[in-house]
Amino acid sequence: MNNAAIGFFDSGWGGLSIMKAARVVLPHEDFVYVADCGHAPYGDRSHEYIVERSRAITDFLIHEQGVKAIVIACNTATAEAANKLRSLYPNFPIIGVEPAIKPAVENSRTNVVGMISTTRTATSVRYQELLARWGGNAQVISAGCPGLMECVERGELMAESTIKLLHHYLDPMIAAGIDGLVLGCTHYPFLSEAIDSITDGKIRLYEPGMAVARHLQNRLSDIDALTTKKTSAEEIFFVSDLNDERQKIAQALMPGITEFRALP
Ligand code: DGL
């Protein structure tokens, strides 16, 4: 059990931003990552569709890959499916990802904060609860941003069209005086450089990677499931609708990865 891998999944490559942090915190753990590219974007799908995909991938990771924990490396799947997955697997560690509203509000001087995510996350009940809990008296400007995850999936991190789309979503927030921007989709940390080029690096970006990685470490430690290996970790990437282009883009986002397989 201790030396079983940890499973991650996302609608595509965004979850690599979470896995990168997990690599730092847990350097000897093996990872199995599922990129559900063939069914993306989740952000434009129905609740039922996202729950069904999340359940199928969780079953695959637990029953066919024998993972010891799962990280839902996707805000949208966490918002729509985490409760369902936890009810199906009540004693199994399932870690979710949520927009980092709390630190952004706590650190804000202008008391105005932006949050960008998929439309589904921004309109989810779970996000409204998060806002009610941590939003305090700050003005939190939330925007669903269709099209943005696709820029990352195409590897167009600094393309003119990407910058233009970012302007479309961010300009009203900048005009409203935000001093923090919560990246509420795991794809968006890959757009940090593009966002900084628009804000001159003056708006602080909040992403949850390290917090999620530490939470994962604590959960594994609590149930005594941390690996005992001291060797370097192994990583496998299962992809729905795998093709050369998808593989190349993943390698650009996370240099050095090689082990790609088609998701059965
Ligand atoms: N990376 C995902 C998230 O964090 C979703 C992208 C999508 O499939 O729309 O919400």
Number of the ligand 1 atom closest to the C-alpha atom of 44 = 9
Average pLDDT over residues 59-70: 98
Q: For a ligand 1 pocket test, name from 17, 72, 185, 239 the mutation site with the most ligand atoms within 8 angstroms of its C-beta.
A: 185
Q: What gap in Å lies between CA 222 and CA 220, rounded to an integer?
A: 5
Taking the whole predicted model, whether its pTM rises above 0.85 is answered as: yes
Ligand 1 atom closest to Cα of residue 43: 9
pLDDT band for position 1 (50/70/90)?
confident
Average pLDDT over residues 167-177: 98
For residue 232, is pLDDT > 90?
no
pLDDT at 190 over 80: yes
pLDDT (average), residues 220-224: 97
Ligand 1 geometric centre to CA of 215 (Å) = 20
Catalytically active residues are 74, 185
Question: Is the predicted pLDDT of residue 5 greater than 90, yes or no?
Answer: yes
Q: What is the mean pLDDT of residues 126-146?
A: 97
Q: Which residue has the tokens 């996202």?
A: 50
Atom of ligand 1 nearest to the CA of 41: 8
pLDDT band with cut points at 50, 70 and 90 for residue 2: confident
27 pLDDT band (50/70/90 cuts)?
very high
Distance CA 212, CA 70 (A): 12
Q: What is the pLDDT of residue 231?
A: 82
Q: How far apart are CA 110 and CA 173, in angstroms?
A: 12
Q: What is the average pLDDT score of the chain?
A: 97
Query: Do the Cβ atoms of 151 and 161 come closer than 8 Å?
Result: yes
| Cα 120 to middle of ligand 1, angstroms | 9
When pLDDT is averaged across residues 217-237 and rounded to a whole number, the result is 94
Tokens of 250: 């993943």
* Residues within 6 Å of ligand 1 by CB: 10-11, 14, 40-43, 74-76, 118, 121, 149, 185-187
119 CA to middle of ligand 1, Å?
Answer: 10
Does the pLDDT at position 135 exceed 80? yes
C-alpha distances in Å from residue 184, one per residue of 11, 148, 239, 241, 263? 14, 12, 23, 25, 26
Top-confidence residue, 231 or 149: 149
Name the closest-CA residue to atom 2, ligand 1. 74
Q: Which atom of ligand 1 is nearest to the CA of 186?
A: 4
- What spacing in Å lies between the alpha carbon of 24 and ligand 1's midpoint? 22
| Rounded mean pLDDT, 164-190 | 98
Q: How far, in Å, from the CA of 36 to the mean position of ligand 1?
A: 10
Q: CA-CA distances (angstroms) from residue 107 to 15, 72, 205, 214? A: 25, 27, 11, 21
- Residues whose CB is less than 8 angstroms from the CB of residue 168 and which lie 6 or more positions away in sequence, other chains included: none
